[in-house]
Amino acid sequence: MSTAAKPIATLRSVTGVPTGRLAMWWLLASEIVIFGGLLMTYVMHRIGHPEWATEAAHTNTVAGAVNTVVLLSSSLSAVLAHQAAQTGNGKKAANYLWLTILGACMFLVIKSFEWTHEIKEGFVLTRSTFWSFYYCAAGLHALHVIAGSIAMAIVAIDAAKGKELQRVEYAGIYWHFVDVVWVFLFPLLYIAK
Amino acid sequence: MTAATDTHATGGHDAHGPASDHGGEHIHPPSYYVKIWVVLLGLMVLSLIGSEVPNKLVVLMAAFGIAVVKAYLVCAKFMHLNIEKKFVVYFLATSLAFMALFYFGVAPDVMQHHGHRWKNVSAKAAVTRGLEAAKVDGHGGHEAPAH
Amino acid sequence: MSQTATHHDHGTATQGHDAHGHDSHGHGHHEEPGFIKKYLWSTDHKMIAQQYMWTGVAMALIGGYLAYAFRMQLAFPGKFIPAYGYMSSLQYNTAVTNHGTIMIFWFAMPVLIAAFGNFLIPLMIGCDDMVFPRINRLSYQVFLLSAIILIASFLVPGGGFNGAWTAYPPLSGNSEYNMAHWGSTLWVLAVALEFVAFLLGGINFITTAMNSRAPGMRLWDMPLVVWMIVIASILFMASVGPLIAGAVMLLFDQNFGTFFFAPERGGDPVLWQHLFWFFGHPEVYVVLLPAMGMSGDIIATFSRKKLFAYKTLLYTVFGTGIISFFVWAHHQFIAGIDPRMANIFTVTTLIISVPIAEMCFLFIATLYGGSITLTVPMLWGLAFVGEFLLGGVTGIFLGASGADIFFHDSYFVVAHFHYTFVPIAIIGFFMGFTYWSPKMFGLMLDETLGKIHFWITIVGFNMIFIPLFFTGLWGDHRRIYNYNNFSELARPELQDLRIIATVGLLIMISAQVFFVINLVKSYFVTKKKAGDNPWKANTLEWQCPSPPPHGNFATMPNVYRGPYEYSLPERESDFWPQNEPPAA
Ligand code: HEM
Ligand SMILES: [Cu+2]
């Protein structure tokens, strides 16, 4: 469409940090407290409820570990996309982003098999508050996976045409954050039993 | 203030547009990132091994210590917080610190089921019930995670 | 990066409107955008500010109507209420709940932070718009959606939510108790969406102020109100997270049968109180700070003096912001929290009143020796400080955990927080509106009508809440529908005080007629032009046309000095705009 003149406000960068990236950092600050609030309440409940140990024993460590590998790898492709964008190669950046999205989809597929299995076994949302936290925390995280994938798809479409390459980095930062959240969910829900 | 007016209006800092980020000098080759990824995967395997150790302390250390290291690597190297302006790191750290504050303010009430002149009878009952149910379930059937 | 300065905001249909951005202010001829693009789908920060403002005012009318209805019920229990009808106890709870919710989340926040933030930040830091104009528009749209959902919650089967604005479980978590299954779910949803809107808006405010200041403008050259709105946005962002998580948990409790907050199955209702107040107390500073900032700017302008100790004031505010995260459990002293924690929270609460008092003192020091003109905005600005003081001082009583065992949930608390919130939301709105409306609309308001409006409003306000301090001390518990049901409270002397309070409310409501008359007279009859700088102020918003055109400044300003250079002895005129180049 039109190469619209953007407001001058969007072109300034007094702090030296590009505006888009600065906004992304603030977004992450707010996400930290959202996940932080949920996970902190989980931790204190977990410590106050020794009986949850038997419930936690039923989570599927293998599925969690595979998903960790998937997310860590998708983070790698996200950072490689950024690297490609830095060198000005929009096509390559877009391809790496699509690869990241593929990782996101794999993550969700594994997750849905895992959940289906657990629900069939009777470990439903209301079985005990452990399971409520389990579905709540992993569900909130999964929503972020979906949102991140959509954002990356939009960025990838532009990047393939060589447009808005700086956004590749911003989407990547968000994706790494989603990864980091999982890095903590994994021990909280799967390992520390 | 009149003296200070001279330092104003040079306006030099406004010059760079959004494109001038930590570009050029910091481009790492892909192999750099692949190496970090390998380290991350190694750490994950380590935490899995750690979780098999029968000592509870080791399990927790392995689980959370390694999670912190992994998170550090992703934040520093993939998000490039290591070369970002310091104030960004500070405000992200502040929001983390607020979460610690939240934990310490709330945990005394939520973790405990009795205290000085108060008891949370029903929470305590829920714990007892749960522990008993677990005993009935027995040590046999559910030791291994349900696959 | 190999990019040139292309940024976000690319190629959507809306850009047609943005297209004649800054390259067009030089010459006047460009096609007018259509009605929808101009008023409903605009990305212009001034239009979004007005959308927020008028939506907020409309919501305040609903909130005020609810207050009228339940105050009438309290003064004349069981009687017919004109323009309402008879009020049932359930309706009473619904009215109180939604009055509080609306006034805080749909009036104070949108008007003080979103409306004035949107209008003032780009103008005061000398740029043409927010850094994310389309996210800004999205923020308003989400906000509007949340308002619609809240209103819809009154109309669903079971009626609106009635579990108080603090929504404590188990009352809020279980529709067997509150009998408003849909109402409570929609209420939580509306509040959560409103938070999303303010997160989007807040990120915009913060990044704009950080990254888009005019050349030459250092952080320490930003007017107080910009600082305050930015700090408020940061506080909001850093405190609301746990409550968003809590809202999700509450929604699950309400709808999916979980028991995060239900003690009978191992949940913990006090957890919700922590989640709520960890946000709730910083939230009171979120709304306080912008109002403080406005009054500081106004007091400096009309004292023709430099704001006293500008930097100290800002350090004080940073301190307040941080301490505000350490006081939340003073709302829970009798909720069964760990008494050792209660001690800590008493101390922190008493500590936080020091910086608050300091801000008030610095404003008073600004007045000292100034050449004060009592214009209408100045009256509101002074009233803000004076009335808020009473709210802050009574807060100290409540902060002492021992005293609070008696005060808690009494009308003393109600009077306390209305002495903080009414100055913030209502006085704050009028203060900002009377000061900046000449810029917003290019027309001056009538001073005489403004003064009449001011005095009657102030008298009415004090008449409502001074008596309530006393009924609270006598033992009036809050959230009671009919005091005749309690023999020790059904006393004529107490009832007289309740009636005085209700009469005060009626006076305060009728005073608003003068405001409406003023608007009609000034904008449609006298139409007195404001000119660029009617108050002879220094800040940048006064150095552009009134109302500012799209793009704000004909040439983007450079900044040479701080915002408060008034009455300098070496200068002929008593003000010195921030963008005026120093004499060569
Ligand atoms: C000097 C500062 C302040 C102190 C020491 C203070 C202290 C307190 C305390 C201890 C309570 C709890 C009383 C109780 O429930 O028993 C309280 C309630 C309240 N305060 Fe303040 N406060 C201060 C400033 C403010 C400000 C600036 C606002 C609003 C902008 C505010 C709004 C409220 C509200 C809304 C409540 C009641 C909440 C409810 O239970 O519904 N306070 N205050
Ligand atoms: Cu408080």
pLDDT in tens, A145-154: 999 999 999 9
Mutation test residue for ligand 1: of C420, C422, C465, C469, the one with most atoms within 8 Å of CB: C420
- Across the interface, whether the CB atoms of C328 and B112 are under 8 A apart is answered no
Structure tokens at C160: 């609106």
Q: Which residues of C touch A1 (CB under 8 A)?
A: 10-13, 15
What superfamily in CATH does domain A16-191 come from?
Answer: Cytochrome c oxidase, subunit III, four-helix bundle (1.20.120.80)
Burial A163-189 (b: 16+ CB within 10 A, else e): ebbbbbbbbbbbbbbbbbbbbbbbbbb
Tell me how far CA of residue C44 lies from CA of A7, A18, A23, B48, C144, in angstroms.
10, 22, 19, 53, 17
Residue B82 contacts residue C306 (beta carbons within 8 Å): no
Angle, helices C411-421/C269-303, rounded to nearest 10 degrees: 40
* Cβ-based contacts under 8 A for chains A and C: 189
Looking at the complex, report in whole angstroms how far the Cα of residue A184 sits from the nearest Cα belonging to chain C: 17
Structure tokens at C248: 């999700």
Question: What CATH number should be reported for the domain holding residue C356?
Answer: 1.20.210.10
What range defines the domain where residue C138 resides? 11-574
ipTM of the complex: 0.94
- pLDDT one digit per residue (tens) for chain C, 584 residues: 333 333 333 333 333 333 333 333 333 345 566 777 777 788 899 999 999 999 999 999 999 999 999 999 999 999 999 999 999 999 999 999 999 999 999 999 999 999 999 999 999 999 999 999 999 999 999 999 999 999 999 999 999 999 999 999 989 998 889 889 999 999 999 999 999 999 999 999 999 999 999 999 999 999 999 999 999 999 999 999 999 999 999 999 999 999 999 887 778 889 999 999 999 999 999 999 999 999 999 999 999 999 999 999 999 999 999 999 999 999 999 888 888 889 999 999 999 999 999 999 999 999 999 999 999 999 999 999 999 999 999 999 999 999 999 999 999 999 999 999 999 999 999 999 999 999 999 999 999 999 999 999 999 999 999 999 999 999 999 999 999 999 999 999 999 999 999 999 999 999 999 999 999 999 999 999 999 999 999 999 999 999 999 889 999 999 999 999 999 998 888 999 999 998 76
pLDDT in tens, B37-85: 999 999 999 988 988 888 888 888 888 999 999 999 999 999 999 999 9
C124 touches chain A (CB under 8 A): no
d(CA C537, CA C297): 9
Given the CA of residue C333, which atom of ligand 1 is nearest to it? 16
pTM of the model: 0.91
Tally the C-alpha atoms within 13 A of residue C441's C-alpha that lie toward its C-beta.
Answer: 15
- Of the listed ranges A67-71, A90-94, B50-54, C500-504, the one predicted with least confidence: B50-54
Given the CA of residue C356, which atom of ligand 1 is nearest to it? 1
Please identify every residue whose CB atom is under 5 Å from ligand 2, which is an ion: C 281
- Across the interface, whether the CB atoms of A129 and C16 are under 8 A apart is answered no
C481 φ/ψ angles, rounded to the nearest 5 degrees: -85, -35
Residue A118 contacts residue A58 (beta carbons within 8 Å): yes
Report how far apart the first and last C-alpha atoms of chain C are (Å, whole number).
40
Q: Which residues of A touch B143 (CB under 8 A)?
A: 57
Ligand 1 close to Cβ of residue C404 (< 6 A): yes
Number of domains in chain C: 1
Residue C4 domain-assigned (yes or no): no
> What does the DSSP 8-state code read for residue C445?
P
Q: Which residues of B touch C558 (CB under 8 A)?
A: 9, 11
Residue C192 contacts residue C244 (beta carbons within 8 Å): yes
Residue C229 contacts residue C109 (beta carbons within 8 Å): no
d(CA B139, CA C172): 39
